[in-house]
Amino acid sequence: MADDATRAGQRNAPPAILDYVNRVHVPHDAGLARAFAGPEGIPAIQVGPSDGKLLGLLVRLVGATRVVEVGTLVGYSAIHMARALAPGGQLWSIEYEPRHAEVARANLAAAGVADRATVLVGAGRDVLPTLEAHAPFDVVFIDADKISYDHYGRWALDHLRPGGLVLGDNAYLFGELLDNTDRGRAMRGFHELVAARCDSVCAPTPEGLVIGIKR
């Protein structure tokens, strides 16, 4: 059994080790590098390189053709997932901030995936119902406003096919998961909902990634 020091090392690998494994396993081409860098004035809160690659691998593993992402930012994770789609697949990504969406569309085009990735502008609660005609989905990835995670998770599980994946980033809520706040309650509700309706795990990525396979 791993001791506490070993577990801490697994969660907090030194930057030099992270740089090495990212170079080996997730080399960036021009399209990914452009999206990962992001323009000045937009927060650099996209998933990390290994997390992005993991998302793409999960999309590929389930042979996904219909994927929804809640929270585009500038399109880095969307590029990973769009490139992993099965032939003829489509990704719909929802972004609240119009400027972020504009940058994301340009990044998706530069990465060569604009034909299979659509960025929709608006609040997730408002935009998700407009996608229901395309259900059932194979994957729903949630990386948006934390106070709505339980709502997004419920929508995902209602519109995924059996065997489809619900994915939720920042699942540790930056150390606030157990706090008695609206954000804490919403995120705990997301965890508990996914656990009740899926075979699931919270993978120990830097900020936690919930992975659920819908029963």
The CATH code for residues 4-214 is 3.40.50.150
Q: What is the pTM of this model?
A: 0.93
- Report the chain's mean pLDDT, rounded to a whole number: 93
Could you tell me which residues are beta bridge partners of residue 121? 95
List, in order, residues 6 or more apart from 129 with CB less than 8 Å away.
none
Calculate mean pLDDT across residues 169-179. 97
What percent of the chain clears pLDDT 90, i.e. is strictly above it? 88
Q: Looking at the predicted structure, is the pLDDT value of residue 89 above 60?
A: yes
Residue spans per domain, the chain: 4-214
Q: pLDDT of 2-50, one tens digit each? A: 444 333 334 568 899 989 999 999 999 999 999 999 888 888 889 999 9
* Per-residue model confidence as pLDDT tens digits over 60-81: 999 999 999 999 999 999 999 9
pLDDT of residue 11: 55
* 184 — pLDDT class (breaks 50, 70, 90): very high
Least confident among 113-117, 120-124, 205-209: 205-209
**pLDDT digit string, tens, across residues 147-161:** 999 999 999 999 999
Residue 190's pLDDT band, with cuts at 50, 70 and 90, is very high
Instruction: Give 118's strand partners.
Output: 92
Residues 6+ apart with CB under 8 A from 204: 10, 11
